[in-house]
Structure 1
């Protein structure tokens, strides 16, 4: 059964969902679904604590099971995103090359935008080839906030 719980963050209220022992979704306040059972499981509590420590700059890598739903291509992209080091960025082209499909940068952008577990799967670390911030499901202000946070705490 899918469970969801809310956490207050510097970005506002965030909901994290889990199903059968893995995190499946992270929702920003404007996207929170209605009707899900609100129950803080041990895994959701751990995810909430890790998210809290991430925002404090104390946690650079998450250590929770993730189970995003998507196509095999999307899952390959999301797996690649998890290998972008904290405080660093990659272009859509670099991600396409990392999954062995150098012509797929546009498809990488679509997969990036459909990431159901932002922050935990760091799609905010993907930027345009020209170094500019482009597209983010939560909005560019959130993407900018997350990148600035990581830049500030990278050397800690």
Structure 2
């Protein structure tokens, strides 16, 4: 039987609820509407109330600290994909190939995911990702280069893109 646990990370823009099934992240929820709403949503989706246990989340929290400090460019956290499948899963996996500090359009991600005409479906997958931040859906933008709504919180997408662009610019600058 699987163990379902959760822990809270103090994010720079809102608390982040990390939920694990055994040792794999099943959901990272930026809790804009509060932790209780996030906890209720994950309990409903998984059919179980996660136990509060920070141990499975320790490595993820360390990696989030490193990312927000500009020292991590990708995440190495085991992911449990049970909450997403089909094309949405393919689209989210494709976003993982967008390099740090760069962006791709929804249409470009659709091509990367093997369905060139599925830009809107990519948007839906990004809007419903269970792995915000860790799977970099913030790197997906509209065809005209505008960033979109990012789950009703475009300021978070701006924050993440600005963070990555600032780090990438420093890395590219001549010494």
Instruction: Please classify the TM superposition score into its range, dividing by the shorter chain length.
Output: over 0.9
TM-score by length of 2: 0.84
| Partner secondary structure for residue 108 of structure 1 | helix
The count of aligned residue pairs is: 155
2:28 aligned residue: 26
1:66 aligned residue: 79
TM-score by length of 1: 0.93
Deviation at 1:103, TM superposition (A): 0.6
Kindly provide the CA deviation profile for residues 15-60 of structure 1, in whole angstroms up to 9, marking residues without a partner as x. Answer: 111102210111112252145321112x310000000110000000
Structure 1: segments with no counterpart, 5+ residues: none
Q: Matches of 1:131 and 1:57 in 2, distance apart?
A: 24
Matches within 5 A, 1:122-133: 122-133=136-147
1:92 aligned residue: 106
Structure 2: segments with no counterpart, 5+ residues: 41-48
- Structure with the greater alpha carbon radius of gyration: 2
Show structure 1 runs of 4+ deviating over 6 A. Answer: none
1:2 aligned residue: 4
- Alignment RMSD (CA, Å): 1.4
Kindly provide the CA deviation profile for residues 38-97 of structure 1, in whole angstroms up to 9, marking residues without a partner as x. Answer: 1112x3100000001100000001111112321221110111011111110000000011
1:46 aligned residue: 59
Residue 11 (str. 1) matches residue 17 (str. 2): no
Q: Aligned match of 1:57 in 58, 66, 70?
A: 70
Matches within 5 A, 1:73-112: 73-112=87-126
Residues 117 and 138 of structure 1, relative CA distance in 2, 3 Å threshold: farther
1:121 aligned residue: 135
